[in-house]
Structure 1
Amino acid sequence: MFDFWEKIVNNLVYGLLGLDPTAQSTQALHFFIFDTVKIYILLVGIIFLISFLRTYFNTQKIRAYLQRQNTFTGNILAALFGIITPFCSCSAIPLFLGFMQARIPMGITFSFLISSPMNNEVAIALLFGLFGWKITALYIGFGLLVAIVGGYVIGKLKLEHYVLIPVIPMDGALESVQIELSWQNRLREAWQNTADIFEKIYLYVLLGVGVGAWIHGYIPTELIVAYTGENRWYSVPLAVLMGVPMYASAASVMPLIEVLTSKGMLLGTALSLMMAITALSLPEALILKRILHVKLITIFFGIVALGIMGVGYLFNALL
């Protein structure tokens, strides 16, 4: 897909600049230039496409629709809705709170909270560009599975008494909301949303690719394989434990995942690290602490962490 761009980078780095292809600094520079432009192109293209499709959805009407759904069906719909919402783990919380205020069952709201940061368009765009559509489809499928099952289990545990805020019933006017946008307005809104998201993440992409380039050029493959390769049983739990304290977007994490896998880390282990970073974070826990009891937050993190580890082991077994 990007063969032509790779030839341009080769001519620039090896031809015009005349750098030694075997040098670590050259390999790092080549990786940085090639991946930065490639990721930017993919981000703009896929975010624009999803943003355009999002103009056909109305958050308030979806919230009203979810109010009428039974468990599990609602879990599935909420997890799918998470794919078209451009949120990280912290910015998804206001809509999560809105779902609770609308008296949507707790398990359904948690399915959305799990799915939204894990399956957002940035993660999908980067996965598609770095690993292809098959890996992307598997990731989305397993990510939805974690969100659906995780939310369903939380709902069955009947933990509503751990919600610390009063639930204010919403009025019945949500279903009357209509969206009437022309084709031109939809394109304009999609482009504006794409520009807004790109403006927020492009520096993180540069940072992620920069760190990835340094690892690519200077960290020995043997060092990474020694701890995370060869399907060691502890690699996946270790990756999840490492990911939870971190707080980063998929834009800054994904370039590192590409490098780590190229250095010998198994894909399932690498994706477990990314899923833990994007779906679970300490800042998210601190924000949730204002509206949920610590016991509920602990149960939520524990269930999702177990689901992510299961996905990691499945990826390592299948690929």
Structure 2
Amino acid sequence: MTTHAPTAPPGTDRGLLLRLGLGALGWAGLYALNEWFWDAAVGWLGLDLGERLVSSVHFFLYDTVKIFLLLLGLMFVVGLLRASLDLDRARAYLEGRGLGLGLFLAVVLGVVTPFCSCSSIPLFIGFVAAGIPLSITLTFLVASPLVSEIAAIMIGDQFGWDVAVAYVLAGGTLAMAIGWVFSRFRLDRWVEDVVRTSRVAALRAGGHRPTLAERVEAALGESRDIFRDVWVWVLVGVGVGAAIHGWVPTDFFARWAGPQNPLAVAVATLAGVPLYVNGAGVVPVGEALWAKGMGLGTVMAFMMSSIALSIPMAIMLRRVMRPPLLALYFGSVALGIMALGLVFNLAG
């Protein structure tokens, strides 16, 4: 005797789709109003955003809400897609086309997603949970903040469009190279179990074809589970970033990372990591350093490390990566940026 899963009453899916649409509009509205609200709150309270303490608190509130919204929204969307799509077929497609295509697509996705180093983590978690090869997900994690379209446009305007093109090509090449190197090793054992034990994976076990209501319920539950596991790390990470936000001593960099120092590229790369700024914030600083005589490659290394690596990012990633993988990731990206800086200096 054949049994069938109970079907939803007529109109149930329609009503659920309507609620999903309204929820998406509400999420988009909150995301769009987030920065405006905190900017307006500074004015309502009569505070000066130019003061370091006010700027740090403003940054903490704005960035925390932004990352919380991204974490919940993106994890829900990724979970819903994982519950709806045949991921085994998608993985088989990528494997059949070779590693190179997967790495290239990861870079393309990273370029078109305008996320900072911390904001790209929710998608990274979703890709790992979906079973996408770790080398491809790490390639995305490198490319998403590093190959910033905002930074590329500002670099083109202030340094020249040939430099902007070189920046995009260099960042994309670095991301693919790191992904290829990582693919040579078995790194999955260094991913925390919390990423893989998900409600969506259990939902599709045994070839079950879930209804829309089941998919939505699983995606919501998984988003809540992951949020509950990482929200403290988000607060700690953004808090560290806010504490040092706006501290960009250009005179210090010009002195210790100037052309007379053979280790200038290494100094600039390491000095950029704690700053936690996006492309729009770091390019003007890079232009000021360039005007003070710092080499182009040294400036590029400073900007790349500021965009692609940060202490808050490390704190948040620790929740999903074990220390060996976290150290390997940060070390590889930092060394790659240093190598690119040396190339830019030689070519410039």
Question: What range describes the TM-score normalised by the shorter chain of this pair?
Answer: 0.5 to 0.7
The DSSP-based 3-state class of the residue aligned with 1:229 is coil
Q: TM-score by structure 1 length?
A: 0.63
* 2:253–2:268 CA contact under 8 A, matched in 1: no
What is the distance in 1 between the residues matched to 2:323 and 2:343? 30
1:280 to 298, 305, 309: 309
What is the distance in 1 between the residues matched to 2:341 and 2:177? 16
2:163 to 135, 142, 161: 135
1:220-231 alignment, distance < 5 Å: 226-230=255-259
What is the distance in 2 between the residues matched to 1:114 and 1:245? 17
Structure with bigger RCO (C-alpha 8 Å, 6+ apart): 1
Stretches of structure 1 that go unaligned for 5 or more consecutive residues are 1-57, 174-206
1:161-310 alignment, distance < 5 Å: 161-166=189-194, 167=196, 168=198, 169=201, 226-230=255-259, 232-310=261-339
Q: Which has the larger radius of gyration?
A: 2
Match of residue 144 from structure 1: 172
Q: Deviations over 1:213-267 (max 9, x none)?
A: x96xxx6xxx866533336420011111111222111111110000100110001
Q: Deviations over 1:90-136 (max 9, x none)?
A: 00000011111111100000000000001122111211111121000
* 1:154–1:300 CA contact under 8 A, matched in 2: no
| Residue 93 (str. 1) matches residue 155 (str. 2) | no
Query: After the TM superposition, which parts of structure 1 deviate over 4 Å for at least 4 consecutive aligned residues?
Result: 58-66, 170-173, 223-226
What is the distance in 2 between the residues matched to 1:232 and 1:290? 37
| Residue 315 (str. 1) matches residue 315 (str. 2) | no
| Residue 82 (str. 1) matches residue 110 (str. 2) | yes
Q: TM-score by structure 2 length?
A: 0.58
Match of residue 30 from structure 1: none
1:111 to 139, 144, 161: 139
- Aligned identity (percent) is 36
Q: Give aligned pairs, total.
A: 221
What is the distance in 1 between the residues matched to 2:128 and 2:340? 28
Stretches of structure 2 that go unaligned for 5 or more consecutive residues are 1-76, 210-244
* 2:254–2:289 CA contact under 8 A, matched in 1: no
Q: Deviations over 1:56-94 (max 9, x none)?
A: xx9869996973323232112101211100100000000
Q: Deviations over 1:184-210 (max 9, x none)?
A: xxxxxxxxxxxxxxxxxxxxxxx98xx
